[in-house]
Amino acid sequence: MKIGEVISASVLGGIEVKLTLNNPEELRVGYPTIVKGKKYDFYCVVQDIYTPKSKVIERIAGIGKEEMIPIEAHDSAYGNLFPCMAKLKVIQLINEKGELKEPETIPPYLAEVRLARKEDLEKIYIPNETSLPMGNLRGVSFEVNLDFGKLVEKPFGIFGRTGVGKSILCKIVCNSILAKEVGNVLIFDMHQEYGLFSKTDNTPGLKYFFPERVEVFALDPVANREAKPFFIEQSKITPSDIIIAFQDLSESMIDALYILEREKGSRDLVTTIREAEPEEYEGKIHSSSLLALKRRIERLRRFDFVREGVEDSFTQMLSLIKAGKSIVLDFGKYGLSTTSYLFIANIITRRLYSIYTRQEENLPKLILFLEEAHKFLEPKVAQHTIFNKLARETRKFNLILALVDQRPSRIDEEVRSQLANRLIMSLKEPSDVSAALSGVPDKGTWEGIVSTMPPRNVLAMGDALPIPTVIEVLNYNVANLKRILKNMDSEEIKEIASNIDIFD
């Protein structure tokens, strides 16, 4: 469908289009379009839609009588009476052979502009063995495949504010990674969404579709009796676990923590803190810092999963990971405690990092989904943890970090710059929009698109897609997953799906 003609264009500034649509509401920011040049098809996305200022409109605005004929009921001798305009961002040129080229030129005046069609898009989005659809291209009934093989090669980020469908997107990504067998996942499941069924909306989780390949551990075995109980042996706790867990430790408390770690001897750190007396450390630790630290440590008593003298479940978890399993760690009643999440995530990640970077054996690729990532990667705490290193180095060691966050602006800039792929959902805070797109060429253009995207839409950019793309994330329902599962290679999964009989 023709939507307009080019009235101005610039390689740097994009293309301005006079719309021929009667109603500008038919077009939306992010819609894919084709500008028909003489040598190339210019594949573009709608960056902005606007009505130019008009003196006539200013004069007639506010005049209203019933008998008057409204301006939309006027045919004009030259197209629309008051045409609207659109600004397009050129993403790619497609030549006559269907080859993609960088946008280094512009279309001529009055070049026709239309919405992109399936055949245009098939030249750009070419599925491969490791790709699966993630949803429809915004405004077009065309499924966009994301290359999950590429996605899991390097750290990536999933950003979006609360309530825009971030968890659903994460589930789709996890399922697709497992379906394409490009890696295994480890998820800290705070809200019991990823196991067999989501406790929030009852949608099937990873264990539902991949019962043989997903193991569920539970910090709260009472709430999930089918999962394996997970315990942390108290002696395994390090200063960084405590710094991350409590987030609000002062510099002097952090210093105290390291002093106690050095001087704990054969005791574990938690016991050392509990038993420490101010007089004992006079001159080394300020008494108020020590007392504050002791008060914080007492909170760990609320965590039943921290025990003395138990077999640490991490060993079991690690052997399952080595056996090619994915892990869902169900937080049960602890899901509401940010401290418990930060504490557990740090302990597990730190230990995985240590094992993966030793490279003593060939470990399977593991994608670690880290929600509330900024809490681990804020510049203030990042220096005390291994997450900085994890984001920067671990692709060499088969341990890939997936940052999931609603406040990307609070994630250390250097870490953000390491993300090879970004799945950005709606963000309203300008600093978050800007941070989510940091390092992206022509960032300003995408900022406008991200800040106006509705929920369940995602801007996907990076090497897992040929070009940055706005996608309407597919509905996470049985029918859609059935379709995706059909695409899977694994016969085993098909068989499981048919046995469960959920698709008929």
Partner 1 sequence: MNLDEAIDMIKECLTQDFNVEVNFSEYKPCGEKPLNLIAIDGSATFIFNVSTLWLGIIRVCALEYEFENGYYLRDRREEEYVEIISTHKALNDIQDKLLRNFPFATPNFIINELRRLYEINLLRKIAEEKKNVIIAMDGALTTTFLKGLDEEVKKILEICKKNENLLIGVAKDSKTHAFHHSITDVELLERKAKDKDYCYVELPESFIKRCKPPLYGKAYFARLFPKARWFRIDIANEAPPKLVFSQLSCYARSKLSLGYVYPLVEAHKLAIKVNQLREIYEERFKEEALRKGIPLHEILRGITNAEGRSYGAYHTYLDEISEW
Task: Report in angstroms how near the CB of residue 22 gets to partner 1 at its nearest.
Answer: 12
CA-CA-CA-CA torsion sign (246, 248, 251, 253): negative
Nearer to partner 1, 65 or 97 (CB): 65
Distance of CA 476 to the CA centre of its chain: 16
Nearer to partner 1, 67 or 119 (CB): 67
Task: Report in angstroms how near the CB of residue 122 gets to partner 1 at its nearest.
Answer: 38
Residues 157 and 415: beta-carbon distance below 8 Å: no
Nearer to partner 1, 67 or 279 (CB): 67
Task: Report in angstroms how near the CB of residue 86 gets to partner 1 at its nearest.
Answer: 23
Nearer to partner 1, 11 or 68 (CB): 68
Cβ neighbours of 125 (radius 10 Å)? 20
Nearer to partner 1, 12 or 63 (CB): 63
Phi, psi of 37 (to 5 degrees): -85, -175
Task: Report in angstroms how near the CB of residue 55 gets to partner 1 at its nearest.
Answer: 12
And the tokens for 335?
Answer: 């899901």
Task: Report in angstroms how near the CB of residue 82 gets to partner 1 at its nearest.
Answer: 9
Task: Report in angstroms how near the CB of residue 113 gets to partner 1 at its nearest.
Answer: 22
Nearer to partner 1, 1 or 63 (CB): 63
Q: How far apart are the first and last CA of the chain?
A: 38
Task: Report in angstroms how near the CB of residue 73 gets to partner 1 at its nearest.
Answer: 3
Nearest to 215 by CA among 203, 230, 236, 232: 230
Nearer to partner 1, 1 or 73 (CB): 73
CA-CA-CA-CA torsion sign (262, 267, 273, 276): negative
CA-CA-CA-CA torsion sign (412, 417, 421, 425): positive
Tell me the residue type at 53: K
And the tokens for 212?
Answer: 């043989």
CA distance 189 to 218: 9
Contacts 24+ apart (CB under 8 A), 120-125: 120/32, 120/34, 120/41, 120/43, 120/94, 121/32, 123/94, 123/98, 124/43, 124/92, 124/94, 124/100, 124/466, 124/467, 125/465, 125/466, 125/469
Nearer to partner 1, 1 or 77 (CB): 77
Residues 140 and 128: beta-carbon distance below 8 Å: no
Where does this chain bind partner 1 (CB under 8 A)?
A: 56, 60, 63-64, 67-71, 73-78, 81
Tokens 């940010």 correspond to 338
Beta strands in 406-450 (DSSP E): 421-424
Phi, psi of 352 (to 5 degrees): -65, -40
Task: Report in angstroms how near the CB of residue 23 gets to partner 1 at its nearest.
Answer: 15
Nearer to partner 1, 68 or 222 (CB): 68
Nearer to partner 1, 64 or 265 (CB): 64
Task: Report in angstroms how near the CB of residue 63 gets to partner 1 at its nearest.
Answer: 6
Q: Are strands 228-229 and 214-218 parallel, antiparallel or unpaired?
A: parallel
Task: Report in angstroms how near the CB of residue 420 gets to partner 1 at its nearest.
Answer: 49
